[in-house]
Amino acid sequence: MTDLWLLRTCATGLAAGMAAGAAHFAALRWNARYFAAGRLAVALGAQTVRCVLTALLLFALARAGSPALLAGMAGLLIARHATLRIAVRTQ
């Protein structure tokens, strides 16, 4: 395992995790609105799609190796933190 491979793998995992996390948590806001409006079928469908897509990304990162998976999870956490900060500011 070379340093360049490790750096590229981690960078790719982090970028993918941040992008997927941003999409995941933005969709969570829409999903909560569907639940609040009583549109349960749409909300459950959206929740299923959102979770399956995130799980597929994590599976792909796991197949790429543990550095990619760990970096991807870090990207998801960074996106979660950013989304929560934005949500608190807009209220």
Domain ranges within the chain, ordered by starting residue: 11-90
Output the pTM of the full model. 0.84
- How far the first Cα of the chain sits from its last, in Å, is 47
How far is CA 90 from its chain centroid?
A: 21
Work out the angle at residue 8's Cα, subtended by the Cα atoms of residues 61 and 50, and round it to the nearest 5 degrees.
30
Q: Which residues of the chain have pLDDT under 70?
A: 1
pLDDT of 90 reads 81
How many Å apart are CA 44 and CA 64, to the nearest integer?
Answer: 30
